[in-house]
A = this chain, B = another copy of it.
Amino acid sequence: MTVSVSSPAERRRNKIRARILSAAEQVFAREGADGLSIRRLAENIDYSPAAIYKYFKSKDELVDELKETFFELILEKVHSIADRATPFAERSRDYVATYVRIAVEKPHHYAAAFAGEAVSEGPVEHEPGFELSKKGQAFTALRGMIEEGVATGAFRSEIDPSLAAKSLWASMHGLTMMIVHLPTFPAFKADQTVMPREDFILFHADQVIRGLEAHHG
């Protein structure tokens, strides 16, 4: 009757699992899901391809873990912004900018995290575990920020925080995807001068937050 909650066998198993994930992460970060093949991965860690399946049910499951870990990172960074004591106007813009900044650092991870199967229609049902998922948590944090804005009068009083959070999230997501997928985005102003990516992210953040703000005319 050992007291250890994890047996040596378990620890060994977790170690190998982690080694597989680590090797997969490196390939995935550079080449994405398509570039990551089970056979290449097996070779990298000196195992047979079939061995991978003793640790993961499928390639999808393996990749899902990489995505989940990545979203934890975004969540962490974004929470650290939400908890800051900086003025609301600045903080809300930082929030948006930070999300985009972190997301585009691992373009393959981010794109893959949202590239489930595309569904055209289907009855819109509230999926049960959403609030508990990483995406759900990120969304909740975003809504909380908007609630604060409404409560303090910074944002228009008539907005529904839940709706506004989704709209805002869509806008953040949009810029991120643009940067991830279009190599030449954003880049150019009207006078053809180049604008650094960072500056454009801030511009966009300012833009989308303005849409929420109350007018102090």
- Which residues in B have their C-beta under 8 angstroms from that of A217? 215-217
CB closest residue in chain B, given A179? B170
A179-217 contact mask (Cβ, 8 Å, vs B): 1 or 0: 011111111111010110100100110011111100111
Knowing A111-B118, A118-B181, the reply to whether A167 touches B175 (Cβ < 8 A) is yes
**Which of A15-23, A44-52, A77-85, A119-127 lies at the interface?**
A119-127
Number of A residues near B (Cβ < 8 Å) is 65
**A163 CB contact (under 8 Å) in B169, B180, B181, B200:** B200
Are the C-beta atoms of A207 and B167 separated by less than 8 Å? yes
Of the A-B pairs whose beta carbons lie under 8 Å apart in the complex, a sample of 16, sorted by A's number, is A111-B118, A114-B181, A116-B181, A116-B182, A119-B180, A124-B194, A126-B187, A163-B186, A163-B203, A166-B178, A166-B185, A167-B175, A167-B203, A167-B208, A208-B208, A208-B211
Further contacts, 16 of them, CB under 8 A, given A114-B182, A172-B174: A32-B118, A105-B120, A107-B120, A114-B178, A124-B187, A124-B194, A126-B188, A161-B190, A164-B207, A166-B185, A167-B208, A170-B175, A171-B175, A171-B207, A207-B208, A216-B217
